Chain A
């Protein structure tokens, strides 16, 4: 199973949204429920073990949470998805767009005392480029060669102008220590499961598989010494048990996103604080455009008019979801959104009309989804029931996760229901998702006009230049129903009211567990 997940690394990382495989239950912690929080220890609940300690490979959420605290990225992002400095202090493109440079801060050290330098960045990006693995490989196809200009400056030579390059590398690429990783014959196969040399706000000191992961504060962490001495990740069987543990004071933060019903429930609990985190992805239905009759745009539009979007957001998601106006440019990234976008209305009569026009009767389609994804499992029957009103039969196929991934990879479905977790840069992501032959182009879209628009947006070096073509691309995607965006989820993460100072960032990956947030977390009232 692990292999199968690793096999679909890119798809999984971008599309991952289901709860991870539960680990075994942890033993009960030592902290008592009444004591006020001390800065000694912050305990975080998670539902999975760390599968891969190699940050360049790992792709589960727990993997990312732990390794993100150990290996810096060039940039982080603010609440609107804009990049903010982390290891890099500034970054820019040359005028022709064929070179990109990033300046690094000089006060970051690996835990063995060596400084973090441009050589490490060059090594990390070159390793991925050479061995072609993980999420990053698909995003740096424009890279020709990376070189260290000085210990604090990296230059990336590109084969073509690519305005998405720095955003992608900055956000997705963890920087690993060259002097440790280069000893491995293959960086991809390097397990990195002991004697870690890291450079984040916390370093991993002890692993008890299935129980907990203990991380200690790094006193000379560049951006500022963390307030809390020790961060502990504890493994729980599921969110329900995490909620009980949080209420009992056994843990301080629930790492996993709360199911909407639980969030509504916890809202009234004064000992718990909820943080709303915008998702960078979206939940959607994709219609296989290579299958009849869905190759006809009228049929796809009929399907889009047969979904009760409001009900899904308000009932299945309990209101913790925003409309994206049927656009792939979501409100989570306000600098890209198109104010002219309009959501398909739920209108069964219109659906019937469109189907008659297309000459389709008794439409019956199967819809695959991951049975283990609680939100989708809740709204999939609603999609079926609303389609019934338009005379469309949808057969639900709630599948076990690996079967679902396999069918998705083979494009073996009529309708795909799922969600993309992190779509942080529209020109880059739309390329993967909608360009002919794109890696996650599940709907098998093949539209030369769309390809051109996305290419144009990718070559633009600034958001301002990229905006016009990418908005036109998004309108095309919406009009042609290459993607039917249902909603953008508002995640809820819970932490004990005894703690404060978290810096929430968008997406489940960053949430309040991102390194800068945990470095600034402190007990309330101190």
Chain B
């Protein structure tokens, strides 16, 4: 493959070797399917509301995932839950990435800011995240937006740290010094040289932060801090736990848990595969 690889750009090389990894491709397909489910939820199942006559029914042809204790279809709940879980996950992750990117790049480029920002990141990383999230979510009141903001507020430090270390390697590069010499403004240098350099690590971060955010959302919703007006995977688990039917109605917990597992597993595998593919030294 070496003879061919020489002619390819790094991006093409990454893509080629990514395509050869079945786990990575499979994960990507699963994620795309989940995203499609989230987007097309109204086409797949009606919004679960009201009540039904068939309560606590095991999975059947009429109710693929069974029904819960007030007769709502668990399949519909999981489908609509995909929407909220992924929306919270993606928006929290985007927010966290933006904050993390800003802080990470500033710390690496503006030397004087490095120490205070480093302290801030270390401090944020050492906070007891879950209790604080619970506190903030409880005080701010349950809504999808609150959840996204709360999760983002506690997820950016990891991104900032990764971005900073990557950017630190770029700042001393000759082309950055050259850009300074020709009189480029800091903003321009950051935009043209630093950001493109850190984007690949951010790419992995987006995926991992999303999966962490989905987990955090499920955790908070399970604790009853989710939005009662919408469905998420955590909310389904919360309601199942509250109904006291955990031991008997296994389907109310299995399917949302599977959905969480599927998402977290595929994001992890995807980011691993992407990392491997990008690491060209392993490719030859």
Q: Which residues of A contact B (CB under 8 A)?
A: 238-240, 243-244, 258-262, 264-265, 311, 315-316, 318, 371-372, 374, 377-378, 380-382, 384-385, 395-400, 402-403
Residue of A nearest to B52 (CB): A315
Residue of B nearest to A314 (CB): B51
Task: Report yes or no: B56 in contact with A261, Cβ–Cβ below 8 A.
Answer: yes
Residue B248 interfacial (CB < 8 Å): yes
Residue B190 interfacial (CB < 8 Å): no
Residue-wise, chain B 245-279 has the 8 Å CB interface mask toward A (1 for contact) of: 11111000000000000000000000000000000
Excluding A377-B224, A381-B49, A385-B49, 9 further A-B contacts by CB distance (< 8 Å) are A239-B244, A259-B242, A265-B248, A315-B55, A374-B243, A381-B228, A382-B50, A397-B228, A400-B138
A377 to B222, CA, bound (A): 13
Q: How many A-B Cβ pairs are below 8 Å?
A: 85
Q: Which residues of A contact B246 (CB under 8 A)?
A: 240
- CB of A274, distance to nearest CB on chain B (Å): 13
Q: Which residues of A contact B69 (CB under 8 A)?
A: 260-261, 318, 378
- CB of B66, distance to nearest CB on chain A (Å): 13
Residue of B nearest to A395 (CB): B229
Known: A262-B245, A315-B51, A315-B71. A399 touches B239 (CB 8 A): no
Q: Which residues of B contact A381 (CB under 8 A)?
A: 49, 228
Known: A315-B51, A385-B50. A397 touches B141 (CB 8 A): yes
23 A-B pairs within 8 Å (CB atoms) are namely A240-B247, A243-B244, A243-B247, A259-B242, A259-B245, A261-B243, A261-B245, A261-B248, A262-B243, A265-B245, A265-B248, A315-B55, A315-B70, A316-B51, A318-B55, A371-B225, A374-B243, A378-B239, A382-B70, A384-B229, A397-B141, A397-B142, A403-B138
Q: Which residues of A contact B141 (CB under 8 A)?
A: 397, 399, 403
Q: Which residues of A contact B50 (CB under 8 A)?
A: 382, 385
A306 to B108, CA, bound (A): 61
Residue-wise, chain B 188-209 has the 8 Å CB interface mask toward A (1 for contact) of: 0000000000000000000000
Q: Which residues of B contact A (CB under 8 A)?
A: 49-51, 55-56, 69-71, 138-139, 141-142, 224-225, 228-229, 239, 241-249
Main secondary structure of the interface of B (DSSP, over half): loop
Task: Report yes or no: B224 in contact with A240, Cβ–Cβ below 8 A.
Answer: no
Residue of B nearest to A244 (CB): B247
Task: Report yes or no: A374 in contact with B247, Cβ–Cβ below 8 A.
Answer: no
Task: Report yes or no: B228 in contact with A377, Cβ–Cβ below 8 A.
Answer: yes
A385 to B49, CA, bound (A): 7
Q: Which residues of B contact A371 (CB under 8 A)?
A: 142, 224-225, 228
Residue of A nearest to B49 (CB): A385
A261 to B245, CA, bound (A): 6
A212 to B51, CA, bound (A): 40
Residue of B nearest to A388 (CB): B49
A395 to B228, CA, bound (A): 9
A265 to B252, CA, bound (A): 15
Q: Which residues of A contact B225 (CB under 8 A)?
A: 371, 400
